Amino acid sequence: MKRIFSVLVENRSGVLCKVAGLFSRRSYNIDSLAVGETEDKSVSVMTIVSSGDERTMEQIEKQLNKKLDIIKVKTFTEENSMCRELMLIKVKYQSGNRSDIIEICNVLNASVLDMSSSSLLIQICDAPEKIELLIKMLTPFGIVELARTGTLSLQKCSENEKAK
């Protein structure tokens, strides 16, 4: 089972270490982790994707709530939230297959950011499974390197949402 924890934390030094330490100490998985500031500079949001059984997911939420630097823990499933990830990926090409790569990019809504005579630097921002798909499609051409941000996630819109 996959869960997405959107964790609002105090924007202080050491907090990332405490949260990561909690996961390692209790042997919880981190599938992906993304950290950034929110509209309030004193608050950061950590989006942690984890997987495990029901009891473990419940424990993660409770243990996170116990940490004193954590303000709020929101738990999403893949169904009730929107997830996006950004990836930059560099692929090798030969003169004969460049247009194949560009076609794949067009189909998957990826764009070319930079190129040389032997490689393309491609950007994609999409749901994690689309990112996986792009990697799979580009692998045969030869991946030079890639970097991913980790999943960001917010709950889907509901009626009557209030601004803070």
Partner 1 sequence: MAEKITGAQAMVKCLEEEGVSVVFGYPGVAICPFFNSIYDSKIERVLVRTEQNAGHAASGYARVTGEVGVCVATSGPGATNLITGIATAYADSIPLVAITGQVSSELIGRDVFQEADITGAVESFVKYSYLVKDVKDIPRVFKEAFYIASTGRKGPVLIDMPIDIQNQMLEFEYPKEVSLRTYKPTVKGHAVQIKKVIEALKTAKQPVICVGGGVLLSGAEKEVQEFSAKHSIPVVNTMMGMGVMPSDHPMYFGMVGNNGKAYANLAMNNSDLLIMMGARVADRAISQPDLVTENTVVVHIDVDPAEIGKNMGPSIPLVGDIKHILQDFQKYEFEGDYSQWIAQLQTWKEEKAVKRNPKEGYVDPAEFVRLLSENMEEDGIYVADVGQNQIWSCNYYVMRKGKFLTSGGMGTMGYSIPAAMGAKRGDKTKQVVAVCGDGSFQMSFMELATIRQHNIPIKIIVLKNNYLGMVREYQHYTYSDRYSMVSLDGSPNLEMIAAAYEMPFVRIFDMENIEAKIKDFLALEGSGLMECIIDSYDLVK
Residues in touch with partner 1 (CB under 8 A):
10, 14, 17-18, 21, 25, 55, 58-59, 62-63, 65-71
Instruction: Please give the sequence-ordered ranges of beta strands (E in DSSP) within the chain, or none if there are none.
Output: 2-10, 32-37, 43-51, 70-76, 81-92, 111-115, 119-126, 143-148, 152-155
DSSP 75-96: EE-SSSEEEEEEEEEEEE--TT
Question: Of 38 and 99, which CB lies nearer to partner 1 in the complex structure?
Answer: 38
User: Closest distance between partner 1 and the C-beta of residue 72, in Å?
Assistant: 9
Question: Of 31 and 69, which CB lies nearer to partner 1 in the complex structure?
Answer: 69
Distance separating alpha carbons of residues 28 and 50, to the nearest angstrom: 8
Question: Of 65 and 80, which CB lies nearer to partner 1 in the complex structure?
Answer: 65
**Can you read off the two tokens belonging to residue 4?**
């997405």
User: Closest distance between partner 1 and the C-beta of residue 62, in Å?
Assistant: 4
User: Closest distance between partner 1 and the C-beta of residue 66, in Å?
Assistant: 5
